[in-house]
Amino acid sequence: MKHISPYVQDFIQYLWLEKGLSENTRQAYLLDLQQFEAFCQRKGIQLRQVDGIHVGDYLQHLTEQALNKRSIARKLSSLKKFYQYLLLEGLTEQDPCAHIDSPKLSKSLPKTLSEQDVEFLLAEPDANDPLELRDKTMFELLYACGLRVTELVSLTLQQISLNQGVVRVTGKGNKDRIVPLGEHALEYLTLYLKTARMSLCQSTCDALFPSQRGRFMTRQTFWHRIKFYAQRAGIQVHLSPHTLRHAFATHLLNHGADLRVVQSLLGHSDLSTTQIYTHVAKQRLQQLHQKEHPRAHLK
């Protein structure tokens, strides 16, 4: 195992205790800081001795390694948060990242599916098969509620209220939000709980959607399930684990939903994070206009 500075260890612990960040997020910070510490060790520099020139050299090193701007920006963000923590704890007298700007990033539009492709994907699992009914119910919840994959696979029975037709989602920073299920999701969730779940969960597992081993499903397993059904449905669009979440937001906006309502449903703390979906929606509307409007093309 790589050597980890006690300052880094304390910082990762701080992210859990004080910030409530998820295991996946903490691991991402840890990896970024391990790589930076390894760079410093090769240069004979201690973490508390780092200055702006050292950070600049590290960013140059990452650029020479052909790392893309988005990855470099994320690693710089990890460093900034780490040194802000050291300042807060009185473990350093300066922030070596204070005057270093992040690389300029162009906003990449999230990949999404057309409403027709979503219908194809949702219709693909066989509701008569317990395993496929589980998958179909998961897809319905993702699309109806705009959940993150981590939020979905972490759901417990206690977070669902069939009577009220809502799900209580624990998002980033352990913040809870209540999201309506919608008719189709509620219908399949009710059927799944009455039939399929008991055959998949022989133990006392509290997971709403247990794996075949009766445990909480991993994000990777769910991602493989999405790819499996997309291939079976003949969907050619490139998919990501959050494809249905992106489709949820885009399709709501296409149908006139208020941006702040979508922000609340997605669990975004900052409206600017949600605003990128307005670009996707506008792009889709422009494509439809070009294709369908009788005067969109010159004769």
> What's the pLDDT score for residue 278?
58
Pick the catalytic residue from 134, 225, 245, 251: 245
Give the tens place of pLDDT for each residue, 10-29.
999 998 888 777 788 889 99
Question: How much is the CA Rg of the chain, to the nearest whole Å?
Answer: 23
Q: Of 11-20, 50-59, 163-172, 242-251, where does mean pLDDT reach its minimum?
A: 242-251
Mean pLDDT of 81-95: 90
Pick the catalytic residue from 75, 134, 197, 242: 242
> What's the pLDDT score for residue 70?
80
Residue 136 or residue 146, greater confidence: 136
Given a cut of 50, whether residue 296 has pLDDT beyond it is no
Pick the catalytic residue from 172, 219, 279, 284: 172
Q: Where are the domains of the chain?
A: 6-88, 115-291
Question: What homologous superfamily does CATH list for 115-291?
Answer: Intergrase catalytic core (1.10.443.10)
Task: State yes or no: is 277 an active-site residue.
Answer: yes
Instruction: Select 6-88's CATH number: 3.40.50.300, 3.30.1050.10, 1.10.150.130, 3.10.20.90.
Output: 1.10.150.130
Q: Of 39-53, 101-115, 122-136, 161-175, where does mean pLDDT reach its minimum?
A: 101-115
Task: State yes or no: is 172 an active-site residue.
Answer: yes
Task: State yes or no: is 242 an active-site residue.
Answer: yes
Task: State yes or no: is 148 an active-site residue.
Answer: yes
Nearest CA among 86, 116, 208 for reference residue 153: 208
φ, ψ dihedrals at 56, nearest 5°? -60, -40
Angle at 287 between CA 283 and CA 291, to 5 degrees: 170
